[in-house]
Structure 1
């Protein structure tokens, strides 16, 4: 009897344990069903696409040249009497630079003046004799010719005398003198050089690939050695042909040089843009994801991230051009990219970007 009672108690205890176990196992299942609300949103950062003018910057060397330049030299041989400029000084157009000894020519001119006066008296004498038929017309003609020859010889000496003075044909800056006063010089002897440096020429070569994008009127920028400040120049002439050795075209730009900062012969680095796109869609470089068959970016619309295959264009330090598929105002993801998949739900925190930071 006791044995049966023990068996009943054991069975009731076992039944109670089963009931407790079944109740405990239902609660997790119920809580699991109640918490199933779909995949959670991913928190990411993104930027709005902006458009700007962008182009490939080409850098090429160049050099300055004087706008006008000549050697100050006499036209005829002689002794330098006076030098009317200081080394390194600025002279005006038409200013007297060199005076040479003209005493010999002046003496010849004075001699001719006397001979012309005598020949004029002789002409008048024979003309008066002709009136009374005392001389022939041939005598009068010879007298007149003699006077005309002497006048022509004087004019020739006056021209030679004027060549003893050297004048500045344009305003500019004189270089260093090679000759002193009292030296005998011959035609072609360089006394000094005259440079017009306001404005200046800037000569440089551009690759054959870009000759159709650069021409007269194109503005370029340049820097000089040791300085990062950019200055402007405008192309005003181009060489009508390609150099077959270098495959480049020589162009020439005008630099105003109003402050005289640049000198002929100085080196410069010329910067100009080619392949310019005035409405380039730009995104930060970190938004671009390399994949096996190219590159993609994630574009967010209505809270859903979509993987967009792209073709990139021009790159800068911090930004990259997207050639197609984007418009101004589109939202592009820049963080959390490795955890995203096509069609993922996202919550985007928009970050402002500035191209000035580029």
Structure 2
């Protein structure tokens, strides 16, 4: 209903971070061809676009699919190992939530592990159901499996903060613990407090710590004091600037002309380089899809260090090296 009211109200573009109802939102936008930029991080959204390129021609995903969380995470592990990190063993324990998004990520991770030619081995796969009332049984299963790497495939920041607080009281000693992108949301640090120290997390789109990214971070935090999110702040900012750039030369009322201009643009924002000249109307990811860092969006891996998010990968974008967590 919200999307329908906006389209009927005559908006000249739609933009947001993500929608939990991607197909209905895309169908509403396609009804009159209004340019629609979203951050659904969804293979299903890209598949829908490919199923009818004419219908969905003016719909663009501003980041890659969630499948790259899996491939990118395993690549990160291998790169860290090559750089000198020694895992206590090569097994990866996946704790997975049950929604489609997390299931896709889990399957992509499992596939990447299987494709690693034995460098990494699949450990247990443990199911959780939102909301998680008690993390104790999960933490016990992690200790029993004793894998070198633990992946918590869940995206709700408040629940990941609750996990962190419980985990540090009875950790699996020596394991690298990765929390899927939820810590990017401000409430993770706010709620987890000191318990957040040492946890690793990633996002296929996030605010860089280069000159452009740091200038944005500084300006944002001056205007909005407190804990800053590392994803939606920058991706939202970039999305609006992509539209503004296109509207400089194209009539905003000419939806197809705007769509063609977005398709052709190469825009370097605070979250990397946006290009949409693909069959999915979505960017490419570095380093999984390309070796050219400036042509893509970096899949950023962060670690909480001294109470702050620090980029530790890829090497071309890092602020800090991986640091041993308190339980490692």
TM-score, scaled to structure 1: 0.18
Q: Give the strand-richer structure, 1 or 2.
A: 1
